[in-house]
Amino acid sequence: MVIEVKNLSVKYREKNVVKNVSFTVNEGEIFGMIGANGAGKTTTIECIEGLRNNYSGEIRVLGINPMKGRKELHKLIGVQLQETSYQDRLKVKEICKLFASFYDTKESIDDLAKEFNLYEKLDSYVGKLSGGQRQKLSIILALISKPKIVFLDELTTGLDPKSRRDMWETVLRLKKKGITVYLTTHFMEEAEYLCDRVAIMKQGQIVALDSVENLKNNHGLLDKVSFRCSHNIKNEVLMKFKTVKEIVERDNHFTISCEADTFLSELNRYIIDNNYMIMNVEVNKPSLEDVFFKYTGEILESLEEQ
Amino acid sequence: MRAFIEIIGTEFKCFTRNFLNMFFVLAFPSLLLILFGEIYGNKPSSLFNGQGTIDASVPAYIGMIITVTGIMSLPLALSSYREKKILKRFKATPMSPFHILTSQIIVNLFMTVIGVAILILIAKLKYDLKFNGDVIAVVLVVLLSIFCIFSIGFLIASVVNGTKAANAVANLVYFPMLFLTGATIPLETMPDSIKNISKFLPLTHSIKVLKGAWQGKNLSDYGSDIMILIAVTIICSILSIKFFRWD
């Protein structure tokens, strides 16, 4: 356990933005916190990073209290802030060199730049970088001190889909190196793809925390099975199949809410017995997004609105 | 310490790569000096109570240089660093945002000195600038002026939110300071109404003392001006410390 948060509460202008939050992060995992804008994700991460002092509760990061051991802590962790930028008039290698000078143990700038595909841009000005390149620079600066934990606050917000995918691979590489990753996002598929464990935050509270698999399986969410049948099957018949909860039918196109495995084996027997044929079978497992909606009832802004 | 020197170095690079800063601190005052020098020369002029145009202009232009670094360069850099969360990012390193702030002050101070040196050098070589004052007195007055004007810039960076607003406020302070205090256009040529307004601008007093010190007059003759500069410095500094936000 590298991060331990106990009863964290933050008040901001008389409003409780984080309410009695407790959780731990294990060594070597990718821990994700998801939630709508304003749910308290950034406030929580900033308390842990040692950027805020106005909280109550207890935090230990690698055994250090971030309020007391700020300097010590910042030698051990790497931080990417939400929407940070750097001095536009500096070259990439200059800002890297500057950050490297803050630490005793440091990574080679050239190696990092090569790894993150920014080597050709070392002589470019920060102001001339694209959004994706800026975020890569942000990660490089977070990694320069060879940190044990890296904090990524909305790393992919504002990036195009291709850059976002690249970033995901980057984050997985960090994990392979043995670095613990704590990230926040409001993209469900991102959390689903990357995270070992996910905490769902709503209005300052953690409403669920588990592995993505468990979150999806343990909350009574059903699969959606859709198929086309050569003949019409009466709703009453399908309703009698085990685990079926809901049926939508149009022109012999069926979409069934159920447990896919149980339903499909029963359906199989049924169509063989009746000499029907089914086509275009598709099984949709519940996504993290479904879990999220179930918990929060909130609608996330779509990407376009960012 | 090595890291702090590294920060100062990078902030210095940022300054030198900002064309407007470089032009208005290093080139513009000298160009203005050459313009008026070519027109009027440095002969004693009735406009300046018998002083030469160049002799009277150099202390005024020193005030202009301090205004560029103090009111434009410094607050705009700081408010953009806050808006870009650079200050906050520094808080997440073993260094602190205090280092970057101090670096900005040091760099702007240094560039002010360079700007003044270039101005004096050109005035001396090209127009035989006369200096009757006491070097230590002039240096002290220049430093006091820098503290005073920088503290006003700092106050702008502290109370104004966002780069755009800071830019607007800085311009709003900058241009009256430039034109209504004698920094560019001699106050002697202004009507009384403007002279009255100019008394409310700290730079007017700063330039008045600078000119006096340059001519070798006794600083005690300028007690009230010096008091005003000290008072403005203290008030602005206290307010800045009270209102400054790192993010």
Residues of A engaging B, defined by a Cβ cutoff of 8 Å: 49-51, 71, 74-75, 79, 81, 83-87, 89-90, 94-95, 97-99, 101-103
Q: Which of B79, B93, B245 to mutate to test the interface with A (most CBs of A within 10 A)?
A: B93
Closest chain A residue to B92, measured at CA: A74
The mean pLDDT of chain B is: 93
pLDDT at B107 over 50: yes
Chain B neighbors of A50, CB-CB under 8 A: 91-92
pLDDT above 70 for A304: no
Q: What is the pLDDT of residue A301?
A: 45
Mean pLDDT throughout A91-98? 96
Q: Does A11 have pLDDT greater than 80?
A: yes
Strands A30-34 and A180-185, by their bridges, are parallel
Q: Which of B195, B245, B228 is nearest to B81 (CA)?
A: B245
Q: Are B242 and B188 in contact (CB under 8 A)?
A: no
pLDDT at A35 exceeding the cut of 80: yes
Q: What per-residue confidence (pLDDT) applies to B247? A: 80
Is the pLDDT score of A306 beyond 60? Answer: no
What local confidence, expressed as pLDDT, does residue A217 receive?
81
Q: Please state the rounded mean pLDDT for residues A142-160.
A: 92
Confidence at residue A160, expressed as pLDDT on a 0 to 100 scale:
87
With vertex at residue B224, the alpha carbon angle to CA B222 and CA B227, rounded to the nearest 5 degrees, is: 110
* Whether residue A251 has pLDDT greater than 70: yes
- With contact defined as beta carbons under 8 Å apart, do B242 and B95 qualify? no
Per residue in B168-203, pLDDT (tens digit) is 999 999 999 989 998 888 888 889 999 999 999 999
A98 contacts B88? CB cut-off 8 A? no
So what's the pLDDT on residue A305? Answer: 38
Q: What share of chain B is helix, strand, coil (3-state, %, to 5)?
A: 80, 0, 20
**Per-residue confidence at B208, pLDDT binned at 50, 70, 90?**
very high
A151, closest residue in chain B (CA to CA): B92
Question: Which of B2, B13, B84 lies at the smallest CB-CB distance from A85?
Answer: B84
Among chain B residues, CA nearest to A92: B10
Q: Which of A81, A90, A102 sits opposite B88 (nearest CB)?
A: A81
**Residue B160 neighbours by CB under 8 Å, 6+ apart:** B75, B79, B166, B169
Q: Label residue B48 by pLDDT band (50, 70, 90).
A: confident
Q: pTM score, two decimals? A: 0.86
Q: What percent of chain B has pLDDT over 70?
A: 100
Q: pLDDT digit string (tens) for B19-29? A: 999 999 999 99
State whether ipTM is beyond 0.95.
no
